[in-house]
Amino acid sequence: MIRNILLLSLTVLFAAATQVAQAAGPTPREIDQSIGRAIKFLADSQQDSGAWRSSNGESCAMTSLALMAFMAAGHVPGEGPYGQQLERGVRWVLNRQQQKGVFVSNHGHPMYEHGICTLMLAEVSGMVSGPLSKQVREGLERAVAVILKAQLVPKANNHAGGWRYGPDSSDSDLSATGWQLLALRAAKDVGCDVPAESIDFAVSYVKKCSSNRGGGFTYQPGDGVTATRTGTGILCLEICGAHHAPETLAAAAYLKRAPLRYHDSFFFYGVYYCMVGMFQVGGDAWTETRNHLATILLERQSDTGSWKGEQTNESNFGETYCTSMAVLALAVEYQYLPIYQR
């Protein structure tokens, strides 16, 4: 009987220890190794042109996301094992900027692609030198002008301040707004002329997407709350100076109650915004989010180092997209990208 009691006690202790280990999430070493495998996959999948592909061909957005993944992991253009590859990628994106300043390749919603490319140029601008530095700066300033102009398209009050699919869209959504706002914030940080009023105007739209029914953020004002949109709203407010705003704290509490799950729509989009947003919030909100989502990511990484979207809305984007977003989420604690810094 004593032996059975001891065995039962050991079983209970083992189960408790397993739960604690799972709650603690992956170790920094495990995350480092995961990121290293992912970066190797991205390096091997770059095209000879310097671009990365989506399922529809070479893409400005996918190339920019891949470049930011490398930079988030500590690699910079012109230096180290991937320096030349990164320079080729930056040049490829710059060469796709249209005369009016818009970045677009094969994406059906150009402002998404444009915002991602603009954010990448803002992040890389302090990492390049010589003629490329000048080209990046010129391209960035033209791209910022497109975003600022699109914000001022006349819109109904509940859409004012945000962005949507095209430069001339007359409505807004939180998803498109998130990329433009990140881009403007990053561009302002490197000295571009971004009026404070433009940031404040965008923040006012983000707050309109905050739900007063239990916290969280919605795609458009009045829609239902999702974890993905909640992460987007949190990050937008946090990086724009509204640190621990009431809307942010309510949203963080929502994510603790209803965290992002692997089979949720737009999981990889959500894992990026939730991880980076909650990192800015800090405290237990960040720790719980980090342990929960990093565990899911490491469990789902393939033997090639990549990630694949299993939901239709992301599987069509391809492995470059999913892998880049996963790296950008996992690497937030490194704080190599300026936008990550608290």
Does any domain span residue 214?
yes
In the three-class reduction of DSSP (H, G, I as helix; E, B as strand; rest coil), residue 103 is classed as: strand
CA dist., res. 161 & res. 157, Å (int): 9
C-alpha span between 333 and 23 (Å, rounded):
18
- Whether 21 is covered by a domain: the verdict is no
Instruction: Identify the domain containing residue 214 by its residue range.
Output: 30-340
Please indicate, yes or no, if residue 222 is contained in any of the structural domains: yes
CATH number of 146's domain: 1.50.10.20
Q: Which of 242, 273, 236 is nearest to 255 (CA)?
A: 273
Three-state secondary structure call for residue 58: strand
Is 288 inside a domain boundary? yes
- Listed in sequence order, the residues at least 6 apart from 182 whose beta carbon sits closer than 8 Å to its beta carbon are 115, 119, 235, 236, 239, 339
- Tens-binned pLDDT, residue by residue, of the chain (342 aa): 444 443 444 343 333 333 444 468 999 999 999 999 999 999 999 999 999 999 889 999 999 999 999 999 999 999 999 999 999 999 999 999 999 999 988 656 899 999 999 999 999 999 999 999 999 999 999 999 999 999 999 999 999 999 999 999 999 999 999 999 999 999 999 999 999 999 999 999 999 999 988 899 999 999 999 999 999 999 999 999 888 999 999 999 999 999 999 999 999 999 999 999 999 999 999 999 999 999 999 999 999 999 998 876 788 889 999 999 999 999 999 999 999 987
Which residue is associated with the tokens 């237990």? 284
Residue 296 domain-assigned?
yes
In a domain, 10, yes or no: no
CA–CA separation, 35 and 41 (whole Å): 10
Q: Is residue 16 part of a domain?
A: no
Lookup: tokens for 180: 């433009």
Give the DSSP letter of residue 75: -
172: its two tokens? 């807004």
> How many domains are there within the chain?
1
Is 178 within a domain? yes
Q: How far is CA 318 from CA 66, 159, 312, 324, in A?
A: 12, 31, 11, 10
DSSP 6-39: HHHHHHHHHHHHHHHHHHH---HHHHHHHHHHHH
